[in-house]
């Protein structure tokens, strides 16, 4: 999961095997077995990794996954821990296929670590300029004036019904100020609608990075951004 999900966010994970600390629970033989199992898993997945000596939790060794944010700072996010101790302490049991009672081994897996920390790191990683597929607001509809609010609302409703995260900026501020605000908020696409767009049943498209892209029929625009979302651009 880690190898699949992190690259989707443009983040390269680094893997570490964290071994037995100075203070630990259980027997050394159990720790040796757990470390051997995690090593085997890393090699089976053909994962390049380094050792974090004595970096394990007090109840078991672990695979730590670190990432570097946009500022080059390293963060430990995901972790996969092999725990022989807690099941024994809680007297957990299962019955195997031969009818014998056995103590399970617990796997602690946190693919994204702390979700709040992950969101914070993502925001810094992209400097707030999220790719289209990930943006909280993908499109903003901006009517030139109140006279075109109705058409703007129709466009906004159409996009929302198609599964696009769209909003309309209804405001008494000038058109230029509303466009600048949307640009500063790093909205991926701004759709400007005025008299010309109402007559031609189109939208004037402004890309956050490329600027003005010209007019386009709304169904064509929807087709365009749905492909971008599917391609995770």
What DSSP string describes 205-225?
Answer: EEETTTEEEEEEEHHHHHHHH
Per-residue pLDDT for 10 more than 90? no
CA 174-175-177 angle, 5° bins: 65
* Per-residue pLDDT reduced to its tens digit, 195-215: 999 999 999 999 999 999 999
Q: What span, in angstroms and rounded, lies between the C-alpha atoms of 156 and 200? A: 17
Per-residue pLDDT for 7 more than 90? no
* Per-residue pLDDT reduced to its tens digit, 78-99: 888 888 888 988 999 999 999 9
Bigger pLDDT: 214 vs 171: 214
Q: Pick the closest to residue 80 from 154, 153, 16 (CA basis).
A: 16
Identify the weakest region by mean pLDDT among 30-34, 87-91, 115-119: 115-119
Q: Where do the domains of the chain lie, and which CATH numbers do they carry?
A: 2-125 (3.30.930.10), 139-230 (3.40.50.800)
Residues whose CB is less than 8 angstroms from the CB of residue 165 and which lie 6 or more positions away in sequence, other chains included: 135, 136, 137, 138, 139
Per-residue pLDDT for 156 more than 80? yes
For position 48, what pLDDT does the model report?
92
CA distances from 140 to 38, 45, 74, 149, 179 (A): 48, 43, 34, 13, 9
Bigger pLDDT: 172 vs 50: 50
pLDDT band at 59 (very low <50, low <70, confident <90, very high): confident
For position 182, what pLDDT does the model report?
95
Per-residue pLDDT for 114 more than 80? no
For position 8, what pLDDT does the model report?
81
For position 75, what pLDDT does the model report?
80
For position 113, what pLDDT does the model report?
72
pTM, entire model: 0.73
- Average pLDDT over the chain, rounded to an integer: 90
């Amino acid at each position: 999961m880690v190898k699949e999900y992190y690259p989707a966010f443009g983040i390269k994970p680094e893997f570490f095997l964290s071994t037995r600390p100075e203070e630990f629970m259980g027997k050394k033989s159990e720790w040796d077995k757990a470390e051997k199992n995690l090593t085997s898993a890393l090699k089976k997945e053909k994962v390049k990794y380094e050792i974090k000596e004595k970096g394990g939790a007090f109840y078991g060794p672990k695979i730590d996954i670190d990432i570097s944010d946009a500022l080059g700072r390293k963060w430990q996010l995901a972790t996969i821990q092999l725990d022989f101790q807690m099941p024994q302490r809680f007297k957990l049991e299962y019955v195997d296929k031969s009818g014998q009672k056995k103590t399970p081994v617990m796997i602690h897996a946190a693919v994204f670590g702390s979700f709040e920390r992950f969101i914070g790191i993502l925001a810094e990683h992209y400097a707030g300029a999220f790719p289209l597929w990930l943006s909280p607001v993908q499109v903003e509809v901006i009517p030139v004036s109140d006279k075109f609010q109705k058409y703007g609302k129709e466009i906004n409703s159409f996009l929302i019904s198609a599964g696009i995260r769209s909003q309309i900026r209804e405001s008494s501020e000038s058109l230029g100020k509303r466009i600048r605000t949307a640009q500063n908020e790093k909205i991926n696409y701004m759709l400007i609608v005025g008299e010309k767009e109402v007559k031609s049943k189109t939208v004037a498209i402004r890309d956050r990075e490329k600027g003005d892209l010209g007019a386009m029929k709304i169904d064509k625009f929807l087709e365009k951004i749905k492909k971008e979302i599917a391609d995770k651009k």
